[in-house]
Structures are given as C-alpha cells and as structure tokens.
Amino acid sequence: MPKDHGIGASQKRREDVRFLTGAGNYTDDINLHGQAYVYFLRSDMAHGKINKVDTEEASQMPGVVRIFTGADFEGIGGLPCGWQVTDKNGDPMKEPAHPVLAQGKVRHVGDPVAAVVADSLEEARTAAEAIELDIEELPAVVDMKAALADGATKVHDDLSDNLCYDWQFGTDTEATDKAFAEAAHVTTLELVNNRLVANPMEPRVAVGDYSRANDESTLYTTSQNPHVIRLLMGAFVLGIPEHKLRVVAPDVGGGFGTKIFHYAEEAFCTFAARQINRPVKWTSSRSEAFMSDAHGRDHVTKIELALDADNNFTAVRTDTYANMGAYLSTFSSSVPTWLHGTLMAGNYKTPAVQVNVKAVFTNTVPVDAYRGAGRPEATFQLERVIDKAARELGVDPIALRRQNFITQFPYETPVAVAYDTGDYEATMAKMEELMDIPGFPERRKASEAKGKLRGLGVNCFIEACGIAPSNLVGQLGARAGLYDAATVRVNATGSISVMVGAHSHGQGHETAFPQVVAEMLGIDESMVDIVHGDTSKIPFGMGTYGSRSIAVCGSAMVRATEKIINKAKKIAAHLLEAAETDIELKDGQFSVAGTDKSVAWGDVTLAAYVPHNYPLEDIEPGLEETAFYDPSNFTYPAGAYACEVELDPETGEVTIEKFVSADDFGNVINPMIVEGQVHGGIAQGIGQALLENCAYDENGQLLSASYMDYAMPRADDLPHMANYTVDHSCQTPCTHNPLGVKGCGEAGAIGSPPTVVNAVIDALQSGGHKVEHIDMPVSPSRVWAAMNG
Amino acid sequence: MAEVTMTVNGKSVTKSVKGNTLMTEFLRDELRLTGTHVGCDTSQCGACNIHVNGNLVKACTMFAGEADGAEISTIEGQANADGSLNVIQQAFQDHHGLQCGFCTPGMVMAAASLLKENPKPTEAEVRDYLEGNICRCTGYHNIVKAILAASGQDVSGIAAE
Ligand code: FES
Ligand code: FES
C-alpha cells in the first residue's frame, strides 16, 4: 500500500488550489500605492562607445518623474560576482565592473543605457524614445576563439584581453599525458553545448519601495533566493544595511537558475524608490527577458577518452571554452569550473581526469547557471565520447559503460569529489528492463518498414547537488556560505509554522516539507504550514537552486524539529512526572515507556505557552527552534536514461518514440512531486537536444529574441505517455544527511540531452550514414546536412 | 477613453478604457483579476487565455474596447459555485498538472475549451490543442494526463512508472 501520509506519500499539492483559481500572488500582481513605472532603454548594439545620452527633452515629456543614466550610479557599487575562480597560474580571474546602468560602453544587445521613471509605463516608454543616444558602434566579439585571438577587440578596455580565466583541474599533466601515451585507443570528439535561455514562464519583475518613516527599503522580486539578493544588493551594490532592507519573493513562476542571480533591475528599482520616494515597478516583457535574463550553457569542448586494450577507461581530458558573455553574472564563474569539472569522472572509475576551461568575455548577454549548471555540460561530453568510443571499438555501449562503472563506495574521484553512495548497475538494469532493450531490433524493423531509421541511445549521468560544505567552497572561491536554515515555530494550540530559507517556485515545498515534520511528530500535515520567500519572516537561508532544497534546507528543518522534540519531551516528562529518558513520542502522543500514561501533543504545546505547570527553572517557555545545516558533502543522484528516435531520412525530422529514465534520488519525500520534477527536466533536456538554440549573428545581434525564433518545447514535441516512463525505484540513500535524500530537480535536464543525440547518431549509422556527431539542437536541417554532407 | 460594458465571470462591469488598453491590462490592472497572466509579447504562450463569448481567446491579442458587450470568463470564474475546484481544476491537482502555476490559468481555460469542442479527445488531440500554450515546468505529461482524466477517461494505466 502506498503511504498516504508523511514521508513517501504522494500527497496532492496544497499550493495548487490558489494557482488553479487565479489566486496566486506573483510579483507582477503586487501594486503599491503611488507607484511609478520604469522603462529601460536598452542597447540595440552589441558593442559601442557611449558618447552622449541626452535626456533633456525626454525629461520634459508628460508623466516623467526622473530619468537615470550610468552617471547616476557613479560611485555606487556594481553587480558583484559571487565566486572567485583562480587561474591555473595562480592569478585571480578577471572581474570587470558591471554597472547597474551602462557607463562608457554598451557591451551586449540589451545592456541598459537609461531608465525612465514615469507615472505610467506608456509615458515612460514614450519618453525613452525621445532620449538622444550618441553611441559609436564598435566591432563586436561573439565567437569565443576569435575573442581570444591576438588583437581581438576587447569587451573591457581595462582588462588585458578577453580571457576571464584559464583553469585547470584534476589529474596533473604529466600523469594525464602518460595515460594517453600508453592508451590502446583514444577517442576524440569536439562538440558544442548550445546556448539556451531558461525562459521561466513568468518574466522577471521588480518592485522597489522605500519608507522614509524608518529608512527601510523593500524589494519585491522574482527570485529563487531572497536572502542572497538582500546580501548582494545591500552589501555590494547599494550599501543598505541588511536590517534596513527587506526582500520578498512571493509566488515565483519558475526559475530554472535564471532567477538566482542579482540583476541590475532589482538594484535599480530599490535605488530609484529611495531617490524619488515612490515605489518603482518594472515588469519585463518576454523580448526584454531574452536580452536581459542570464543565458545558460554555451560551451565549446574537445574531449578525449583513453582506453586500454581491455576497453577500460584510463584517462579523460577536456578542453573547454566557456562563454561568460559581457559581464560576470552572479555565479557565472563557478559553472564551468566547480560545477562542471568536478563531475567529469561521471559514473566511471577512470584513474586520470583532467579538465581545462577557458572562460571568455564576449559581446553577448551574460551566461550563468541554467537547470543543471555545468553538470549537463559534463555529462553531455562524457556520454557522447563514450558512445563514440563504443562505436569505434565495435562494442556494446551499455557493456562498455558497465565495465567501467564505479562499484565501491565511498569513491574518491580524480576531480576532488567523493561519491558517498550509489548503485549504477541497478539504475542501468532498471533502465534496460523498462526500455525493453531486447525488443529494439523488432521496433527498428517496424520503423524501417515505414521508411524511417530508428536509433537507440543510452547514457548514464551523475550530478552533485546541495553544493557544500561552506568551508570547502570558501576555499574554492565561493563568496557565500552554502548552508540553509529553518525555524520551527510551534503555536500554543499545536499548529506549526516552519520558516524556511529554501524558496518554492514550482517545487511544491509547501506540500512536501510538512510531510517531513508531520512524520517526525506523528501529527497531521494540515497542522504544518511553510513560510518562505520573505527575509523579514524567515531565517537567513540561501534559497533554492542546484536541487538543494530538501537535502540542505530539509535537513535544517529536521534538525530544528529534533530540537522541538527534545524540548517537548522535557515538558511532557514534567507533565507526566516521569524521567525525560522514559518519554516516547508516537502518533502525536507523548507516553511514558511501559505505562499507559500519556499526554497529547497539544497539551504539551499549550503548557509551553501557558506555563502554569511547567519546569520554569529548567527550561524556557515557548516552543520555537531554529537550525542551520551545513552539509558535509554534496549529494550524488545518478541514473541511466534511454531513448529511441525515429528519423525521417527524407526530411531529417527526428521524433522521440520511446523514453525511459531510471534515477536514484535516494529517499523520496513525495514521489508525485519528484516525478513531476523529472518530467520537467526531461522536457528541457529534449528541448535542448532537438529544439532550443539561442543564436547570435557575427555582429552580436540576438537572432532568437522571442518565442517566434526560440523554439520552446510544446506538448506535441514530447513523447506520448505509453512510450515514456520515469522511474526512481532504485534508491541508495545519501549517507550524510538525516533524510537520506539526494535531490531531483535537475536530473532530467542533465541526463536527457546525450540520450537523444546518441539515439540520433545510432539511427543515422543504422542507415549507413557515417555521421559521428551533430551539434544540438539536432534540427531537421542539421540532420539533413549531416546525411547529405 | 471610451466606455465599455461587459459581463466578467457573471458580473456586469462598466469602465472607461483607452483605445490601446489590452484585455490583459484591463483584467489585471482595472479589475484586479490577476489570474490572467502575461508570459510573452508575441501571442505564443497562452498564459493569458480567457473565454470571450464561450471562445478561447488570447487576451493579449485583444483590446478591452473590443470586449464591449461580451461575455468574458477568466480563471477566477472557473471554480464551482461553492468555491470547490471544478472537474478540470481538480484533475490538474489530482494529476500534478502544475508546478509554478504561471501557465496554469491559461492551460485550464484551454482545457475547458477543448473539452467543450471535443468531450473525449485522444492524447494526440490534447497535445495538438495545446500547441498555443507553453509550460516550462511540467513537461506537459501531467497536464495531458489531467485533461484526459477530466474528460472522464481512465488514465490509471498510464502512470509515470
Ligand atoms: S501573453 Fe498572451 S499569448 Fe503570451
Ligand atoms: S507550471 Fe510553471 S510554466 Fe507551467
């Protein structure tokens, strides 16, 4: 019987009711009395020298309150980067200034040049048209290798070149070279991990407010991590002390990474509200989102895999160019390094792994974390090169992977991480079973009978979630801690509010988190409410990204609940006149072991707040506890994915005919929500593999700036239900957090792109096309070109 | 400014509006019916779907003035009279057909129109009908399942695992 309560129950989501009835409270639904609206005038050039921004005439236009330009932000901090990466020569990365509004130069299409604040958005927009811009166009650098060439135009004139850092990690060069020199076979693959736009359906919004009464600023924003925004904006940009700054992220319509970062528009609205003493609101249009939300991926990589005569992997070496865009977005520098290099061992016991990454400035929108962040890039390279190796060697790609699996845990990889637990054989076997691999030749025949080619692609993946511990990431350059926090506030009547640092923007925390507390206390979930998204209400937590919420914040919540239980037992012992060590808590009832004496949860909570009969000399009244939890390690979800595609050799069109994911997420709190996360991740992964591409032309013009040119996956792009299975029944619980959970938010987006591409290549090869690789998105035109090239 | 009168979720509304006021702005800013969302500016996403005289319309493609005399219904008017979720809304909750909820109002409105036109759609028909609705969170799997379930079809056999 599946559970209907507590940990492991597929409880329906309580937050759905407000979303389904139009009662959600998203940032754009917030309107403050007397608010003004801001319109950002953005650069339509990729690169240019600002000679003059003349706002004189525009300032006189109806409704205009004030127009701001870069000059208004002189002497004010720029947007900070949250992770300092050290170059292989020991130098710190180059960290150019990132002003709130452009100063001196514009560096990408969308770079904000001026901000018009007016009584209405229409008036702001009209006035913006009257601003006279004198911007001298400069040559733009778009291609990363060209950006590093001698004499290339510099994105930042004060830097020596466009190289942000040159990073090397893992096995030393001598040992790596030796492994390659001794290899029986080396497979090499060059590939692109295409630039993507996260595209949460809710565009970003910021509303700044200022109270003269207490000199307090409030920012309502579409953020995944309100405390991170408060910290960065307060301390680095605007110099507002944290106790005078409140950041609220109410219902947020999806994030996928792109709402982690601190953006110029947030700082602007907070700043401008203080300046004009009126609330200031900005709502991004979708077109604006394409040129101002941080983009994702955009790596160009050469990967080499060395094997010995028995097909054991002996070394992996990668050489990656990672696009940073024009400025360093909040966590941009960590993505191609610590979130990518550390995963390059994959699920395999390869003894030598060396990762090389050059991060490059270009005249494009900044690039930062997008669902998976670095880990999809690592997985894609590794699983593609393994597939190519299997083909070159004429061995079964599943067998080749299996033979090289890590089987002993804990396992220290050559790239600094220690996998605590896993069972890659189990997820592989599960995938094979669900996929019905033996039935593939029949299915291929059926496709061929229709004039189609059919391919089977498989791959494994590993990810690292809940990035931690803080003292280690500090050594690696992180400028923030990576703990999380929860306060469990038990009310007199026994109901509970849990204030959490994690933020829910689709993940269902309001449903899943109470399941944990309810299980621990033996009470009903309806007695537990989750509070999140407001720095004035919640303890200092780091928010939600990197599949960390339940593993990190959930663990903090467990620790705080344990403290509650300890204290409640003391109170119960007093009420029952028994020794504390004899008190047991079960089903919301405290009882004295071996007797029928008991007291209910509600009696204990009432005693805590009405302490008439209470051990006041030993413990304080009240029942509220906070815990901060700093994990001792990452968690390592892993899995095996498979996909079958049909390819029309006439048109190059690819359809997904069958798809299976077999994931190991450790313990699972709410299976329904977990599966939902995997569905969404797979759709984004398939989107990357087949449809999505953020394209620039050679002048730095953004070619895909709306849903007309950026192909979002739609319902009919994805596999039908009968041929699609997500499974998470293989569970090796995490060994170092109290819930044994690993995280599930990014798995689908990490695991699925290589699966699809491997299947496409398999289909082409089966038709006699000697195609080794096609870059994503594997569009009909690319397939057709590869077939006919 | 022109005066418009329309029925919104069963209630008559009269307001003066500017000629260029979009229906999305009218609903969200004038009537404070913020359940109708704006997800794009190229009429591609369907987050703004409403019903105008019983037809599915993207509210971002219509001026408020064009709704003069019309019968409008929005996500706020979909629940049963007692406030409980209607069959489609309930199916979305039962089958986890939403995550962040931003696309959800548009999805529910689209589903209602589909089921009115085609009470027992096939999976392919549902997917095809949702061509004008983008969801970034769910991968559509559970939305499709919810709509099939709301049409009274048995979806228990197509569990995800
Ligand atoms: S907002 Fe109307 S279709 Fe996107
Ligand atoms: S539920 Fe978030 S976009 Fe559909």
CATH number of domain containing B73 = 3.10.20.30
- For residue B158, the model assigns a pLDDT of 67
Q: Which atom of ligand 1 is nearest to the CA of B49?
A: 2
Residue A467 reports pLDDT greater than 90: no
Residue A247 and residue A225: Cα distance in Å, rounded? 9
Amino acid at A554: G
- What confidence tier does A481 reach under pLDDT thresholds 50, 70, 90? confident
- What confidence tier does B161 reach under pLDDT thresholds 50, 70, 90? very low
| Ligand 1, pocket-test mutation among B26, B36, B37, B58, most atoms within 8 A of CB | B58
Environment class of A403 (CB within 10 Å of its CB; exposed 0-12, middle 13-18, buried 19+): middle
Residue A594: partners with Cβ closer than 8 Å, 6 or more residues away: A582
Residue B6 and residue B29: Cα distance in Å, rounded? 16
Last residue of one domain, picked from the residues B48, B77, B106: B77
Read off the pLDDT of each residue in B110-115 and give the average, rounded to a whole number: 98
Asked if B131 and A715 come within 8 Å (Cβ–Cβ), the reply is yes
Give the CATH H-level superfamily of domain A31-84+97-138+204-283. Answer: Aldehyde oxidase/xanthine dehydrogenase, a/b hammerhead (3.90.1170.50)
Residues B92, B140, single domain; the answer is: yes
Residue A366 and residue A694: Cα distance in Å, rounded? 12
Q: Is residue B28 part of a domain?
A: yes
A593: helix, strand or coil: coil
Residue A561 and residue A567: Cα distance in Å, rounded? 10
Residue A772 and residue B100: Cα distance in Å, rounded? 39
pLDDT, tens digit (0-9, with 9 covering 90-100), for A387-420: 999 999 999 999 999 999 999 999 999 999 999 9
Q: How many Cβ atoms from other residues are within 10 Å of residue A210's Cβ? A: 23
CB A662 within 8 A of CB A428: yes
- For residue B91, the model assigns a pLDDT of 98
Within chain B, strands assigned E span: 2-8, 11-17, 49-52, 55-58, 71-73
Q: Helix-strand-coil percent breakdown of chain A, rounded to 5? A: 30, 25, 45
How far away, in angstroms, is B117 Cα from ligand 1 center? 22
DSSP class of B140: S
- What confidence tier does A1 reach under pLDDT thresholds 50, 70, 90? low
Q: Indicate which CATH number applies to the domain containing B131.
A: 1.10.150.120
- A506 pocket-lining for ligand 2 (C-beta < 6 Å): yes
CB A661 within 8 A of CB A751: yes
pLDDT, tens digit (0-9, with 9 covering 90-100), for A505-546: 999 999 999 999 999 999 999 999 999 999 999 999 999 998
CB A752 within 8 A of CB A691: no
Percent of chain A with pLDDT over 70: 100
CB A502 within 8 A of CB A464: no
DSSP class of A365: -
Residue A574 and residue A577: Cα distance in Å, rounded? 5
Cβ of A363 under 8 Å from any chain B Cβ?
A: no
Residue B10 and residue B13: Cα distance in Å, rounded? 9
Q: How many residues does chain A have?
A: 789
Cβ of A384 under 8 Å from any chain B Cβ?
A: no
| Ligand 2, pocket-test mutation among B38, B75, B99, most atoms within 8 A of CB | B99
pLDDT, tens digit (0-9, with 9 covering 90-100), for A278-289: 999 999 999 999
Taking each helix axis from N to C terminus, what angle separates A671-686 and B141-150, rounded to the nearest 10 degrees? Answer: 120
Q: For the domain covering A16-22+483-629, report its CATH number.
A: 3.30.365.10
- For residue A292, the model assigns a pLDDT of 98
Residues B53, B114, single domain; the answer is: no
Residues B70, B94, single domain; the answer is: no
B119: helix, strand or coil: coil
**Has domain A299-468+633-787 been given CATH number 3.30.365.10?**
yes
Distance from CA of B154 to the nearest CA of A (A): 13
Taking each helix axis from N to C terminus, what angle separates A671-686 and A747-766, rounded to the nearest 10 degrees? Answer: 50
Closest residue CA from atom 3 of ligand 1: B43
Residue B160 reports pLDDT greater than 50: no
Residue A469 reports pLDDT greater than 90: no
Read off the pLDDT of each residue in A691-702 and give the average, rounded to a whole number: 98
Which among A672, A720, A726 has CB closest to B123?
A720
Query: Six-digit token pair at A100?
Result: 């709130």
Residue A38 and residue A60: Cα distance in Å, rounded? 16
Instruction: Find the Cα–Cα–Cα–Cα dihedral A396, A461, A691, A371, rounded to 10°.
Output: 180
Residue A727: partners with Cβ closer than 8 Å, 6 or more residues away: A430, A434, A660, A661, A662, A663, B161
Residue A495: partners with Cβ closer than 8 Å, 6 or more residues away: A527, A528, A529
The three-state (H, E, C) secondary structure of A198-247, written as one string = CCCCCCCEEEEEEECCCCEEEEEECCCCHHHHHHHHHHHHHCCCHHHEEE
Q: Is residue B160 part of a domain?
A: no
Q: Which atom of ligand 2 is nearest to the CA of A202?
A: 3
Last residue of one domain, picked from the residues B35, B52, B77: B77
Largest distance between two CA atoms of chain B: 56
Asked if A718 and B140 come within 8 Å (Cβ–Cβ), the reply is yes
Instruction: Find the Cα–Cα–Cα–Cα dihedral A379, A385, A387, A388, rounded to 10°.
Output: 160
- What confidence tier does A480 reach under pLDDT thresholds 50, 70, 90? confident
Location of each CATH 3.30.365.10 domain in chain A: 16-22+483-629, 299-468+633-787
How does strand A654-664 pair with strand A418-419?
Answer: unpaired
Q: How many Cβ atoms from other residues are within 10 Å of residue A438's Cβ? A: 8
Q: Which atom of ligand 1 is nearest to the CA of B38?
A: 1
Chain B residues touching A675 at Cβ < 8 A: 96, 160-161
Percent of chain B with pLDDT over 70: 98
Task: Please report the number of interchain residue pairs, chain A to chain B, with beta-carbon separation below 8 angstroms.
Answer: 195
Residue A596 reports pLDDT greater than 90: yes
Chain A residues touching B36 at Cβ < 8 A: 22
Which among A253, A285, A706 has CB closest to B101?
A253
Closest residue CA from atom 4 of ligand 2: B135
Residue A570: partners with Cβ closer than 8 Å, 6 or more residues away: A580, A615, A618, A619
* A622 φ/ψ sector (left φ>0, alpha ψ -120 to 50, else beta): left
Q: Is residue B157 part of a domain?
A: no
Nearest to B86 by CA among B116, B48, B53, B123: B116
Asked if B93 and A12 come within 8 Å (Cβ–Cβ), the reply is yes
How does strand A583-586 pair with strand A418-419?
Answer: unpaired
Amino acid at B98: L
Residues B7, B68, single domain; the answer is: yes
Q: Is residue B7 part of a domain?
A: yes
CB A716 within 8 A of CB B127: yes
DSSP string, A690-754: II----B-TT--BS--STTTS----GGGS--GGGEEEE-------SSSTT-B---SSHHHHHHHH
Residue A243 and residue A710: Cα distance in Å, rounded? 42
A433: helix, strand or coil: helix
Residue A372 and residue A635: Cα distance in Å, rounded? 14
In chain B, the residue whose alpha carbon lies closest to the alpha carbon of A11 is B94
Residue A769 and residue A685: Cα distance in Å, rounded? 25
A285: helix, strand or coil: coil
| Disruptive mutation site among A201, A258, A688 for chain B (greatest number of B CBs within 10 Å) | A201
Last residue of one domain, picked from the residues B77, B104, B132: B77
CB A759 within 8 A of CB A644: yes
Q: Is residue B41 part of a domain?
A: yes
- For residue A466, the model assigns a pLDDT of 85
Location of each CATH 3.90.1170.50 domain in chain A: 31-84+97-138+204-283
CB A773 within 8 A of CB A590: no
- For residue A441, the model assigns a pLDDT of 98
Residue B142 and residue B131: Cα distance in Å, rounded? 16
Domain extent at residue B62: 2-77
For chain B, the average pLDDT equals 96
pLDDT, tens digit (0-9, with 9 covering 90-100), for A54-69: 999 999 999 999 999 9
Read off the pLDDT of each residue in A105-123 and give the average, rounded to a whole number: 98
Sign of the C-alpha dihedral computed for residues B81, B87, B89 and B94 taken in this order:
positive
What is the count of structural domains for chain B? Answer: 2
Q: In what order do the strands lie in the sheet with A638-647?
A: A453-462, A638-647, A654-664, A724-727
Residues B122, B72, single domain; the answer is: no
CA separation, residue A703 to residues A273, A775, A785 (Å): 34, 18, 21
Residues B71, B91, single domain; the answer is: no
DSSP class of A436: T
Q: Is residue B8 part of a domain?
A: yes
Q: Which atom of ligand 1 is nearest to the CA of B40?
A: 4
A451: β partners: none
